[in-house]
Structure 1
Amino acid sequence: MRRYAIGADIGGSHISCAVIDLNSKTIITETYASEEVNNKAEAKDIHDRWATAINRSLAHISADEVAGIGFAMPGPFSYDKGVALFTAQNDKLEKLYGINVGDELRTRLSINAASDIRFMNDATAFAVGEAWFGMGKDYCRSLSITLGTGFGSAFIADGIPVVDGNEVPDMGCVWHLPYKGSIADNNFSTRWCIRRYKELSGVEANGVKQIAEEAESSKVAKLVFEELGSNLGEFLAPWMIKFGAEALIIGGNISKAYRHFGQSLEKAFKNSGCQVAVHQSELMEDAALVGAARLFDEDFWSHVQPLLSKM
């Protein structure tokens, strides 16, 4: 087996990547690379920026040692075919619509024909990374979520994403499920925090970080996070119980404010009869890199490849 894989995390305005040693399960820190990306740019410009970052990581290792490049990619995306499905409605990367991203990138990357390019949903990649060598590694069943611009989630059983069946919602994620007259994504994200803060204070916050800083002394800011935790616990508990999850791992920018919403979250779990360990991610953004690189652990790939079309 080729020893190394590149894990690449595609965000709304950037790409981050690094070399992962598949044998030792470590990130080679000196290979970190990132590039800012204008998600409204033409397809050529986006692919060029992505390739620039990846080639900087690849420069640290021999091409003959690279199993491939794994992408943690937001949706909508055809993960099994490598084709972008973003439209203007998604407000990002729409110029990539219908393009086979793997084919476009291969011509720009310093890899040989034996190296593959594979894709997985970004929230799923985060969960896989946490289960592989993050906070979920000691649990058979876990749910990982990311709280930030959007609400990402993935259920993991024995290291493998669970995307269908009676134990999980459709697509194996929860962002689209109804909650409080809307969907979960609208209730557990940055925009909810900003909206709720304005409803309570009449002031427009510039982000969750500001609200978190004010929560140290402001009753209004503190209440925003207490509501977030209570609502999140109420929403997740039935699915945690149904799945038999042993742990919840929380990442994303909002997770950095866990001290402000953790108590109300755990209280809501307890009130719902949900006994589960709750962990803040330590890998954070690195978890998605790790999870994407694991696409080149061939035993894992044999299990996950049939699931990609369902993500």
Structure 2
Amino acid sequence: MSITIGVDIGGSHISSAAVESENFKIIPGTYFSGAVNSKASKDVIIKKWGEIINKTIKEIDTNQTIGIAFSMPGPFQYETGIAMFKDNDKYESLYNICISEELLKHLIVKDVSFRFLNDASCFGVGSSLIQESLFVKEKIIAITLGTGFGASFLNERLPITTGNTVPHNGCLWDKPFKASIGDNYFSTRWFLGQYEKYTGEKLKDGVKEIASIQNEYTSIIFEEFANNVSDFLFPFLVEFDADLLVLGGNIARCHQLFLPKITQNLKIKNVNLPIIIIENTEETSIIGSTYLFNEVFWEKIKEELPYF
């Protein structure tokens, strides 16, 4: 398929766009996004997803089979398209629902093929695609820093989820760090918690708000964050022998406040590799998801789609 639709599902939004498979660029006029209540009923959520995707469909040639690829958070059965959201405070009404079957009821076209991949993996694949003109790298670790902590390990664009050089399932959010797990240190709630601990003040707008304040406490918090990131990622970077580290997510937009320290810390540990910041995380994930309709890539990955 020369044109496919990529869909990025977030905890509170859906974004959809058509992507030109030859140059991995979003086709102008096809990008649409909308807010989604992840605690709503199944019908409300699926109807909203269909509404946004239909906007994209209306902007492309529908006289051929349309491929729709999802950048989807877990837990999810990526091979079957069945949602497994349970006890994770989002989209729980979709538990054990086949997304492709339900969504097709709300689309304005019926000749559709669906494919699914983990959102962190889609971001990693998209990162490798859009950076191709600047970097020819074999091994990439891509992480997203936002409401949650996502990660993917890629070797020549293929997400690696098994083997001795990557953590279990190719995930980092659940790996031990200090008194807890990575997700509790590399997400928005950690920043908000640290700011409240130092100042006694509760903020609501997240990391961007903390960065805009620029007082002595924000400097301390961002330095702590940089040290934590360096210490946590160091063994994974070494074990995977990474050629490139990619950072995305809302927190990455404040990279000027922590990236120099991360780079310095890694150099002290004799880890010297380029670090790329990608601010348009959603668009990158959309581009990465549509690569599922590259048949060579699909044949390599479909038997190893994570089941979690």
**1:43 aligned partner:** 42
Say yes or no: does 1:305 pair with 2:294. Answer: no
Matched-pair contact (CA < 8 Å) for 1:63–1:110: no
Residue of 273, 289, 295 corresponding to 2:292:
295
Matched-pair contact (CA < 8 Å) for 2:46–2:103: yes
Matches within 5 A, 1:103-252: 103-113=101-111, 115-134=112-131, 137-206=135-204, 207-215=206-214, 218-252=215-249
Figure out how many residues of one structure are paired with residues of the other and give that number: 306
AA partner of residue 301 (structure 2):
V
Secondary structure of 2:153's aligned partner = strand
Residue of 81, 88, 91 corresponding to 1:90:
88
Instruction: Spell out, residue by residue over 1:227-276, the C-alpha distance to the aligned partner (whole angstroms, 9 max, x if none).
Output: 10111011101111110111111000000110001121112211222111
Structure 1 residues 176 and 78: CA distance shift in structure 2, 3 A: same
Matched-pair contact (CA < 8 Å) for 1:3–1:65: no
**1:277 aligned partner:** 274
Structure 1 residues 55 and 76: CA distance shift in structure 2, 3 A: same
Structure 1: where are the runs of 5+ without partners?
none
Quick one: distance in 2 between partners of 1:67 and 1:297?
13
Secondary structure of 1:29's aligned partner = coil
TM-score by length of 1: 0.95
Instruction: After superposing the two structures, state which structure 1 stretch, 195-204 or 171-180, moved more.
Output: 195-204
Instruction: Spell out, residue by residue over 1:152-205, the C-alpha distance to the aligned partner (whole angstroms, 9 max, x if none).
Output: 000111011011100000001111110011000001110111111111222222
Secondary structure of 2:258's aligned partner = helix
Q: CA RMSD in A?
A: 1.5
Instruction: Spell out, residue by residue over 1:266-291, the C-alpha distance to the aligned partner (whole angstroms, 9 max, x if none).
Output: 12211222111111015422111011
**1:102 aligned partner:** 100
Structure 2: where are the runs of 5+ without partners?
none
AA partner of residue 58 (structure 1):
I
How far 1:303 moved relative to its partner? Answer: 1.2
Matches within 5 A, 1:56-71: 56-71=55-70
Secondary structure of 1:144's aligned partner = strand
Secondary structure of 1:309's aligned partner = coil
**2:15 aligned partner:** 16
Matched-pair contact (CA < 8 Å) for 1:130–1:137: no
AA partner of residue 178 (structure 1):
P
**2:74 aligned partner:** 75
Matched-pair contact (CA < 8 Å) for 1:134–1:287: no
Quick one: distance in 2 between partners of 1:66 and 1:6?
11
Instruction: Spell out, residue by residue over 1:41-88, the C-alpha distance to the aligned partner (whole angstroms, 9 max, x if none).
Output: 11111111000110110111122344410011111111111001112x
